[in-house]
Amino acid sequence: MASIQMQAVRTATQQMTNNGLPQFGEDIDPARLRGAVETAQAAMPLQEGVEYRQEVLGGVEAELSVPAYGREDALILYVHGGGLVCGNARTSRGYAGMLAGESRIPVYSFSYRLAPENPFPAPLEDCFHAYCAAMEKYPDIPIYLIGESGGALLSIATALKIRDGGIRMPAGVIAYSPVIDWSETLDRSHCGWDEITVTEAGLRSLAKLYCPDEMQRRDPYASPLFADFQNYCPLYVAWDQGETLAADAEALIALAQKARVPVEYARYEGCFHAFAPVGRSTPESSKLLDDTIAFILRHLHDQELDWEE
């Protein structure tokens, strides 16, 4: 059963939706969603002890969250969610700063191009170029990709593109509530029984915005459901079992396990889609943050050993 704090967050989210907050349903309005995200970010408290620096990473506008007394042996690239139609480096500051402050690891967030103005593969290309620029700037330290929802998709696909390009892989990918299929091949009929944000109708609408060319919806970089995960980096997946995208998380884990990828996962109950940015506000999201940092530190050590060999 969900904690009292999580139940309160769910109730507040539903009330905002009932009061006109744009949502990822059948009729998606990217402009309204972007405005709502901007408004929400303006009201979000910032992490103490974190400095925010404006930069450009691989030609993409970025923000680097730098924690006081931070570590110098790792870097995180945070790929924001927002259905691939809203969000940017500045609106990512809340969770990016929290990740930096809690892990003591610097965190980049960036403004990848958004659909529908810039559909697939533009957002993926921006993430790939940002990673390559980060690797060039920090050649001797492990880099992690973290994202939720659409940002989780981009994190997963970016690592696939990195592998296929023969570039040094991320030390790990952390995917919260990922979407891995735009083609409607995946059966989601048994999911979404406790969903409060992203519906199947919403996913169909997003598919039209992100992949208007239906032929591209089976491209492994667009829909990793069709990808080969051989020689992939360590993977951590977390989701709520009542959300619509639970099917995607379960399928991703099966693909990773089939390819013998080191994969860890956490299935929560009574939360909601992509709840990770709630952070320390609930016991569930607090545990997820702790587990995320623990995963990073475990595989930081693993990668150091690989380099020594």
Q: Give domain status of residue 92, yes or no.
A: yes
pTM for the predicted model, two decimal places: 0.95
Instruction: Annotate 267-280 with b (16+ C-beta within 10 A) or e (fewer).
Output: ebeebbbbbbbbbe
Is 124 contained in some domain?
A: yes
| Within-domain flag for 20 | no
Asked if the structure places residue 220 within a domain, the reply is: yes
Q: Does a structural domain hold residue 261?
A: yes
> Is residue 167 a contact partner of residue 132, using CB atoms and an 8 Å limit?
yes
Count Cβ atoms within 10 A of the Cβ of residue 21 and give its class: 0-12 exposed, 13-18 middle, 19 or more buried.
middle
Query: Which pLDDT tens digit goes with each residue over 135-185?
Result: 999 999 999 999 999 999 999 999 999 999 999 999 999 999 999 999 999
Expressed as residue numbers, the domain containing 120 is 45-308
Residue 25 included in any domain: no
What total of structural domains would you count in the chain? 1
Residue 18 belongs to some domain of the structure: no
- Domain-located, residue 39: no
CATH number at residue 211: 3.40.50.1820
- pLDDT tens for 184-241 read 999 999 999 998 888 999 999 999 999 999 999 999 999 999 999 999 999 999 999 9
